[in-house]
A and B are shown apart, each in its own frame.
Chain A
Amino acid sequence: MAYTKPLPTTTIGNVAFWDGLKEHQFKIPHCRECGAYNWVPYPACKNCQSEDLDWSPISGKGTVWTYSVVHRGAGFHETPYVVAVAKLDVDGPRSVLVLANLINTNPDDVHIGMPVQIGYDDVPEENMTMYHLAPA
């Protein structure tokens, strides 16, 4: 079945992230100078402005930082559905807050602090993999 949800226009600078998803890994920019993980990716570290970044896989585990139950969507997801921002477990001087569709849960059960984990959706016809959140 064709994938009908919108997809991101990926850019060359972030190919490591999108390639990581294909391996079901969540690799995000990590600063070799100060240890900060940066999300969303910027070309230099937002904590110390170093360009010496690597793409380090993180566990993708975390907790719900905030969420919304969407009753009036933009037409691509069956309503109601949950959009959540998760605070993912990382070391370093910055927090990592990642927004994604939170699936496999009753919207009424979602709460701030709920344990969640990044999961992966392969989209072979578009040669890419997307990510979501699900209860851990």
Chain B
Amino acid sequence: MGFSNRRVAIVGVHTTEHARKMAQTPFSLQLEAIKGAVADAGLTLADVDGLAPNIGTDFHNPAPMLNSSLAHMFWSEQLGGRPLKVVVHGGGSAQLSKAAAAVSAGIADVVVVFFGKSAFATGPTAYAAAPPGALRVGEWDALPHGGYLVTWYALWAQRYMHEFGVTKEELAEVGVVDRHYATLNPASVMGHKGELTVEDVVTSRQICSPLNLLDCSIDNDGAYALVVASEDVAKNTPNPVWILGAAESYYTDFYASIPDPWFSEEGHAVKDAANRAFDMSGVSRDEVDVANLYDCFSITYVRDLEEMGFCKLGEGASFVKDGQTRLGGSLPCNTDGGLLSGSHCGEPSGMPTIEVVRQLRGQCGERQVPNAKIGVSLSQGFAVHGVAGVLVMGTE
């Protein structure tokens, strides 16, 4: 018999409350997300036979950000003390891609992908409690030189602006569009603050030039989960969204190690994953109704559009400025408000897929893209773009 080649769907999604400084523990948030996603699929925990825990999910491990191989043992015992057939590590669309492949092959039938965090920071305040004396960090970490995560993206933004003649004001459009969507999403963290202008973004607090505060993602708590299931399971669930194509790609393990050029027609991991996922799906870029692209910073969103093949190299900012990513544009993007205004819950790489699933189900209220049938999600990280996962999804 060998491996199967089964159709696979995302059958359940759930997001807990996402907010700043939540009192719930990461464990409690994750369990709530898992239960919620399974219930959304009309399934029970007893149906789950695979897990895809993201980083920070092993509650017997004192280092919560480690992607521990012990996490599956913790969770298989916690969820009822029974053998699980597959465990997938990773993050976001890449992790969903592997989970879908395992389900398609028949290794498992129902896999839950989940993450949640509270009570730790991911921004510069993460270092605030350093002990006296010289803190030791990784051998090639930027921190001894004054660099941290935002600095990396600022360095990429500065070089990008130089090579393509893009201005801060043009990058700022990303924050404006994301915030507009957030105002239409009652679950977003920043929507209640109201609309932004380009002026608001470029005059917000300077963080690492050329990036200002409102070019950067927020840092909040919250959890999410998604349920991936085989066709036999999915066809009996209320709202399956089919995975038409899925791919992941890795290019670098450092921000610092990509040589000249940083921006090339061949691209890096995102372009590779996008090409493969689109090829697998048989869907063309033109057929995409809605996308959710990983926008940890304004520069990331602009580069995502280019590397995904939705516009040409160097034209991402003008694509946004022209309104193409707004409702009514050619490619509505990040309709939940993205990571800049929707939610960045520490490791939000599954959130883009959840929003696309909700769009394709027609559950998005004021921010709904009318009649959305085909959607794409991207998760990425490391140097815009060192790692990437892409999912192409459809209602049929």
Contact of B208 among A11, A71, A95 (CB under 8 A): A71
Most B CB atoms within 10 A — which of A42, A99, A100?
Answer: A99
Q: Give chain A nearest CB distance to B262 CB in angstroms.
A: 8
**Are B159 and A70 in contact, with the CB atoms below 8 A?**
no
Distance, CA A94 to CA B261, complexed state (A):
10
Return the contact of B155 from the options A11, A67, A95 (Cβ within 8 A): A67
Judging by beta carbons under 8 Å apart, are A6 and B260 in contact?
no
Residues of A within 8 A of B257 (CB): 39-40, 42, 46
On chain A, the residues within 8 Å of B210 by CB distance are 68
> Which of B124, B158, B254, B259 touches A66 (beta carbons < 8 Å)?
B158
Question: Would you give the shortest CB distance from A121 to chain B, in whole angstroms?
Answer: 10
Q: Is the CB of A74 within 8 A of B146?
A: yes
What is the CA–CA distance of A124 and B140 in the complex, to the nearest angstrom?
Answer: 20
B134 and A4: CB pair below 8 A? yes
Q: Which of B30-88 contact A (CB under 8 A)?
A: none
Q: Report yes or no: A6 in contact with B207, Cβ–Cβ below 8 A.
A: no
- Most chain A beta-carbon contacts within 10 A, residue among B146, B159, B208: B146
Q: How long is the Cα–Cα vector from A67 to B159 in the complex, in angstroms?
A: 8
Contact of A8 among B137, B158, B259 (CB under 8 A): B137
Kindly list chain A residues whose C-beta atoms are within 8 Å of the C-beta of B139: 8-11, 14
**CB pair A97 B256 closer than 8 Å:** yes
1/0 contact string of B127-149 vs chain A (CB within 8 Å): 11010111111111111111110
Q: Is A114 among interface residues, defined by CB-CB distance under 8 A?
A: no
A82 → chain B closest CB, angstroms: 8
Taking CB atoms and an 8 Å cut-off, the chain B residues in 98-132 that contact chain A are 124, 126-128, 130, 132
Give the residues in chain B near A77, CB-CB below 8 Å: 146
B250 sits at the interface (CB 8 A)? no
Knowing A40-B256, A68-B151, A74-B127, say if A99 contacts B142 (CB, 8 Å): yes
Contacts of B206 on A, CB cut-off 8 Å? 69, 71-72
Asked whether B156 is an interface residue with its Cβ less than 8 Å from the other chain, the reply is yes
A112 touches B134 (CB 8 A): no
Q: B162 in the interface, Cβ–Cβ < 8 Å?
A: yes
| Number of A-B pairs, beta carbon distance below 8 Å | 136
Mark A97-124 against chain B: 1 for CB-CB distance below 8 A, else 0: 1011100000000001000000000010
Inter-subunit contact A68/B134 (CB<8 Å): no
What residues of chain A lie closer than 8 Å to B130, measured between beta carbons?
6, 75-76
A7 near B158 with CB under 8 A, answer no
Q: A61 contacts the other chain (Cβ, under 8 Å)?
A: no
CA distance A79 to B150 in the complex (A): 15
A81 proximity list for chain B (CB < 8 A): 146
Taking the closest CB of chain B, its distance from the CB of A111, in whole angstroms, is 9
> With contacts A40-B257, A97-B260, A101-B145 known, is A6 near B158, CB below 8 A?
no
- The residue among A68, A112, A130 with the most chain B CB atoms within 10 A of its own CB is A68
A68 to B137, CA, bound (A): 21
Q: Is A73 an interface residue (CB 8 A)?
A: yes
A83 to B124, CA, bound (A): 15
User: B192: CB under 8 A from chain A?
Assistant: no
- Contact assessment for B146 and A76 in the assembled complex, using a CB-CB cutoff below 8 Å: yes
A32-85 interface with B by 8 A CB criterion: 39-40, 42, 46, 65-77, 81, 83, 85
Tell me, in angstroms, the Cα distance from A3 to B158 when the chains sit together: 30
Q: Does B203 contact A (CB under 8 A)?
A: no
**Which residues of the partner chain A approach B197 to less than 8 Å between Cβ atoms?**
none
User: Which B residues are CB-close (under 8 A) to A99?
Assistant: 142, 145, 147, 155, 256
Given contacts A9-B138, A9-B139, A101-B146, contact A95 B260 (CB under 8 A): yes
Is B234 an interface residue when CB atoms closer than 8 A count as contact?
no
B235 at the interface (CB under 8 A from A): no
**Chain A: which residue is nearest B132 at the CB level?**
A4
| A1 beta carbon closer than 8 Å to chain B | no
> Is B205 on the interface with A (CB-CB < 8 A)?
yes
Q: Which residues of A contact B150 (CB under 8 A)?
A: 72
A76 and B143 form a contact (CB under 8 A): yes
How far apart are the CA atoms of A7 and B136 in the complex, in Å?
5
Q: Kindly report which residue of chain A lies nearest to residue B128, judged by CB atoms.
A: A75
Cβ-defined contact, B140 with A8, below 8 A: yes
Contacts of B134 in A (CB 8 A): 2-7, 123, 126
Q: For the complex, is B189 an interface residue (Cβ under 8 Å from A)?
A: no
Taking beta carbons and an 8 Å cutoff, which residues of A are in contact with B? 2-11, 14, 39-40, 42, 46, 65-77, 81, 83, 85, 87, 94-97, 99-101, 112, 123, 126, 130, 132
- A–B pairs, 28, beta carbons within 8 Å: A3-B134, A4-B132, A5-B134, A6-B130, A6-B135, A7-B144, A9-B136, A40-B257, A67-B158, A68-B208, A69-B206, A69-B208, A70-B151, A72-B124, A73-B146, A74-B124, A74-B146, A75-B124, A75-B127, A81-B146, A83-B147, A85-B159, A85-B256, A94-B259, A96-B259, A97-B259, A97-B260, A130-B144
Interface residues of B (CB under 8 A from A): 124, 126-128, 130, 132-148, 150-151, 154-156, 158-159, 162, 205-211, 254, 256-260
